[in-house]
Amino acid sequence: MQKISLEKSLKNQIFERKSTDLFTSRLSHPRNMHYITSQCFTSRLQITYKTVQGRRVEVGRRVVMHNGVDLRGRPGTPVFSIADGQVVLARPMHFEGNFTIIDHGLGVFSGYMHQSNLRVRVGDYVSAGQRIGDVGTTGYSTGPHLHLALWIRGVPVDPLSLLSVPIRE
C-alpha cells in the first residue's frame, strides 16, 4: 500500500507542473491501427483476491471508472506519442505497469500504460508520432494492449476526443 501511495503522490506532483505550450505540430495517433477494446469513462467491476492455502479467494469487489481508452495490439508493436512534449515519467508502476507520461504544455498530459518496453527517459523531448514504447501487458492488465490516458490540469479527458483525424496508413 505504501508503494501505491507514493506512486499516486508522484502522479499528483507531475500534474501540478506549470509548463509552456510544447505543441509544435499536428496530433498523431498512438498506434498504427485502432481496435478499441474498452472505451473511456465506462465503469468496471474490480475484484480483489488473495491466496489462502494455495487457493484463490475473493476478498472484495468495487466499481471503478475506466479513465482512458484501451487499444488492442500484439506485444512489441510500436506505441507513438500523440503530440510533441517532454517525458516527465517513464518507469514501471504497480497498476499502470511500464508507464510513460508526456507533458504537452499548458496542463495537457498524455499517459501510455502496460508497455512491454519503454523507449524514452525522463527529460527527453518527443515529437508527435515518435515511437516511445511497445505494446505489452504489464501492471494490472488482462492482455496485451495500450491504455491511452489524457489529462487536462489533472482531470481525465477522453483521448479520442482529440484524435478525430484519420489514422496513418
Domain locations in the chain?
2-161
The 10s digit of each residue's pLDDT in 17-61 is: 888 776 666 677 777 666 677 776 677 677 778 889 999 888 888
The 10s digit of each residue's pLDDT in 84-96 is: 999 999 999 999 9
- Strand-pairing partners, residue 37, are none
User: CATH assignment of 2-161, given 2.70.70.10, 2.60.40.1150, 2.60.40.1240, 2.60.40.180?
Assistant: 2.70.70.10
pTM exceeding the 0.85 threshold for the entire prediction: no
Distance CA 26, CA 64 (A): 33
Burial state string for 30-48 with b = 16 or more CB within 10 A and e = fewer than 16: bbeeeeeeeebeeeeeeee
Phi, psi at 18, each rounded to 5°: -115, 110
